[in-house]
Amino acid sequence: MQVPQFLQTGLTAHGFSTRLGGVSQGEFAGLNLGLYNGDEEQAVQENRRQFLSCFSCQPSSAVSPQQVHQTEISVVTQADGGKGVLSAETALKNVDGLITNEKNIGLLLCFADCTPLFFWDPVEKVIALAHAGWKGTAAAIGAKTVTKMQRLYHSQPENILAAIGPSIGPCHYEVDHTVAEQFRRSFAFSDDVLTAKNNGKYWLDLWQANRQQLLSCGLTAEHITVSDYCTACYQELFYSYRASGGKTGRMAAFMMITP
């Protein structure tokens, strides 16, 4: 899946995978791109090679960290090529966001319900990816990514194009009081993203929470693309951690600046 706005500005090497294709079996059946979820390593390696080949990217030219639902955002360069792509041992640890302004280094992050955030500044030529589940969203990883793009590369927020990718939607994402409370404490807009249910729990809208966060950073509404694909609604198309009960594969978000 791709972002039309990115394609229009020439960022052709980017996308979000589905579970279609690939060689994984059982609960992981399809194109599982997650190295940390119990699937056979060889299957994931083959799946990652297949997915990267869609972008003419060799595994040695991509980087994929071990994600932990926090907000560490690493700047990577071509020197990081290959880290964490075919084996966990070489992965950057405890990293949930990647930024680069270099060509030919592919960014790869994995998801199964959490929200993928894509960033592309076509003026300063900077790309970034972030992993925003409820913890990352509440801890403002999207806003932190924008701030880092501004500080390191002089990106102007009004120039940044962003996309909020397929993830668990407000139709399926039930959270408890503790999570709701964190959003209330963190965001003035929390009433817009939490809907009380009659069982004492809430529906949480991570798409809107991230969109509002990016708007408050100065991104313009017309520069933010929101996918309305819920990973729990479309289980034939996506892996869903919630809908599967926990043992399942991962999709991946990919971005690379090409010459």
Residues that bind Zn ion (CB under 5 A): 169, 171-172, 230, 232-233
Assign 64 to helix, strand or coil. Answer: coil
Helix (H, G, I), strand (E, B) or coil at 244: helix
32 in Cβ contact with 18 (< 8 Å): no
Residue 3 structure tokens? 């972002």
Q: How far is the CB of 23 from Zn ion (least distance, A)?
A: 28
Cα(238)–Cα(167) distance, integer angstroms:
9
Closest residue by beta carbon to Zn ion: 230
* Residue number, 143 or 206, with CB nearest to Zn ion: 206
The single-letter code of the amino acid at 188 is A
- In terms of CB distance, is 118 or 173 closer to Zn ion? 173
Residue 173 C-beta: closest distance to Zn ion, Å: 8
**Closer by beta carbon to Zn ion, 105 or else 206:** 206
Shortest spacing between CB 227 and Zn ion, in angstroms: 12
CA angle 106, 109, 114 (to 5 degrees): 150
Q: Which two tokens stand for residue 91?
A: 């992965």
Residue among 173 and 254 whose Cβ is closer to Zn ion: 173
Provide, rounded to whole angstroms, the least separation between the CB of residue 113 and Zn ion. 10
Min dist CB 191 to Zn ion, Å, is 21
Give SS3 for 190.
helix
- Helix H or strand E segment including 253: strand 251-255
Q: In what order do the strands lie in the sheet with 224-226?
A: 73-75, 97-100, 126-132, 115-121, 161-164, 224-226
Least distance from Zn ion to the Cβ atom of residue 233, Å: 4
Residue placing its CB nearer to Zn ion in the complex, 108 or 230: 230
> Whose Cβ is closer to Zn ion: residue 137's or residue 150's?
137
CB of 54 to Zn ion, least distance (A): 26
Do 182 and 202 form a contact (C-beta atoms < 8 A)? no
Q: Which two tokens stand for residue 129?
A: 């990816």
Query: Cβ closer to Zn ion: 92 or 233?
Result: 233
Inter-residue contact 162 to 147 (CB < 8 Å)? no
User: How many CB atoms neighbour CB 143 within 10 A?
Assistant: 18
